Structure 1
Amino acid sequence: MIRAEGVCKSFDKKEVLTDIDAVFEPGKVNLIIGKSGSGKTVLLKSLIGLHSIDKGKIFYNDRDITVMNNKQIKDIRKELGVVFQGGALFDSLSVLENVKFPLNLFSSMTEKEKTERAIFCLNRVNLNNVENLYPAEISGGMKKRVAIARAIVLQPKYLFCDEPNSGLDPLTSIVIDNLLSELTHEYDMTTVINTHDMNSVFEIGEKVLFIHEGHKEWEGSNEEIMYTNNKALNEFLFSSKLNRMVREKLEKKSEE
């Protein structure tokens, strides 16, 4: 479990996060949603220690990362898998070398063991016989799956994804969503996904945190979100861009 208590973060005297309290549950897909500029990406990066917060605490179970020294933070990062927006693969490395990268940093495996583990993870995300290709030679959806394979290669307890469906077509987005949900339950990870994809919210969002103008505005399940009276959340859900999708989801749920 990950717990944020009173998290505040500012840039150039502008407060981006204000007193965020949130719990991200183990074995579940936890989503952070909100408009662009709401602070959701800053929150995710704060959770993994890429941003130092100004105030508050962030616990991994009972371990507060805000008071850890560099060695302790390095140790806890061995438990984290991260899928960055766009995949963030190394263009000069092959698919296999990209997936092996965390093993080179954090494991004492032999080269043979690293290769076997990397290929196992590639197979797990349904990528076969691509290990010798380079990122420029594969599709956007395949790049995301390579990034997921790299994120799970160390068998993390915690998986973080920043806009994993960004730039993907709707069908490929569903494939990525289903894969992340399967992996979360298969490995009993605490998965935290920053997204604006409403399909992700309704299909895999077991726990949803809505951030509005740097504040926690709402927290609940994807079932509860359909019946919320929260004005800011409803305005977000029924914005002109999302209106049709949300209404279709609501109608489908009501028929069930």
Structure 2
Amino acid sequence: MRKKAIVVVKGGLGNQLFQYCLANHLKKNNLSVKIDTSFFNINDFDSKNTFRYLSFTPRELGFKKASKFSIIIFNFLRKINKLSIKFLTFEYFKGYNHVNLKFKDFNLFDGYWQNKFLLDESKDFLIECLSNNDSFRKNIALNDPKFNTLVHVRRDDYIGMSEELTISYYKESISKMNTLVKDFQYDVFTDDKTWVKNNDVFSEAKNIFDQENFENDPILTFINMIKYKNFILANSTFSLLASYLKEDIDSKIITPTPWFRNIEHPGFLYNDWIAVENR
């Protein structure tokens, strides 16, 4: 019997793309993969989570959506997994790591899968899928990006987790980038425009953009992010993916390390990227 898998897709655009990357990895390993998008059912939404919109349907990225019945079956198998059932096996996976996993007959993947090994494996898959959008395809192909440097500031749900990046991170990052980039100019993309405007470290920003500037559309925001050549990342897969997909040999990318202060995370630091301490 071909092994079966359900991958839970949840969170914002960056998280969704990593989860689809995992689904593609599993498909390449000959698992029968379906996608659970029930996180986005507004009637069933858990108010403890930050509400997000589903940016890509399973069909758009080459997958089938898991039926309600199959989701019920997999969750039932998870509950009885501790029992000794000889005629089938089940495994529940979560976290960030996707390597050396031992698959069973039925496999439920409910994690974020954020690691640079999966990202490197999936770059062509991501570009192919995103290129279904004409604007993305046009801007990812530009050899000379239109704008200089993007600074990403994410706060929103991170404040409650005490994982928002501090002023010291941005002060050091902007100072470093100023020495590395000729005719340095930058725009800020943020979910907290008021906070950015109230902090002098961003006083020389040419533009400060939030969701409303891009019709509250994550895909439109992402497309505008890949118009830049250099990036000062937040600890967010949103700006991470934009920088990773767009960078060229001359790009300068600054990333926080550690990725999170209070949550164990593998982080993203490539050899030619520049680390600034997240303290």
Scaled by the length of structure 2, the TM-score of the pair is 0.27
Q: Which structure carries more strand by proportion?
A: 1
Structure with the greater alpha carbon radius of gyration = 2
Scaled by the length of structure 1, the TM-score of the pair is 0.29
Whose relative contact order is higher, 1 or 2, with alpha carbons under 8 Å and at least 6 apart?
Answer: 1
